Amino acid sequence: MLHTDILDLLNRQINKEFYSAYLYLSISHYFNSLHLNGFEQWTKNQAQDELAHGLRIYNYMLERQAAISFDAISSPDRQWDSPIDAVLEVYNHECSITRSIHDILKAAREHNDYSTEVFLHWFVTEQIEEESMADKVLQKLKLIGDNGGALLMLDDQLQKTPPATDMQAF
């Protein structure tokens, strides 16, 4: 039986993961409007990954016979001033998700919930990757500045990024 603190945090995390999917999809839509199809594909793949993250927690909670709540998912922004602003939002968002995962891990430790602690290890590792990828794109955009040709080259590179694989587990 999950402690009520853990139950609440995991339910909130499902909501955050689905919000993340919404956010990535909204950013993907923004990139579509700019005809930056590599950025569009990258963020669409990320949206799929986020759905898989939410489902991963959902399945864990089912296994633990925990009560699952389905709270409303907030609307993400729909417009950004520039590609760099959109990617900065991705990066900041991933950092906030990392903090959120760490908070659940901390609570699991406080309540001696070893199962949840082990379950969360996958997410801790995943967040390193998510932050790092967003940061790499962000740093490249900073270097690119107003150089349209270089932006198209990065777009092309992102087009070749392999699709999300997390979803395959479900």
Q: Is 20 in the site for ligand OFO (CB under 6 A)?
A: yes
- Which of 113, 117, 130, 155 touches ligand OFO (CB under 6 A)? 130
How far, in Å, CA of 53 to CA of 51, rounded?
5
Residue with tokens 């199962």: 115
DSSP string, 45-102: HHHHHHHHHHHHHHHHHHHTTPPP--PPPPPPP---SSHHHHHHHHHHHHHHHHHHHH
- Which of 40, 50, 113, 155 touches ligand OFO (CB under 6 A)? 50
CB of 103 to ligand OFO, least distance (A): 14
Q: Is 94 in the site for ligand OFO (CB under 6 A)?
A: yes
Identify whether the C-beta of residue 27 lies closer than 8 Å to the C-beta of residue 86: yes
Q: Is 120 in the site for ligand OFO (CB under 6 A)?
A: no
**Closer to ligand OFO by Cβ: residue 50 or 117:** 50
**Closer to ligand OFO by Cβ: residue 17 or 113:** 17
Binding site for ligand OFO (CB under 6 A): 17, 20, 50, 53, 94, 97, 130
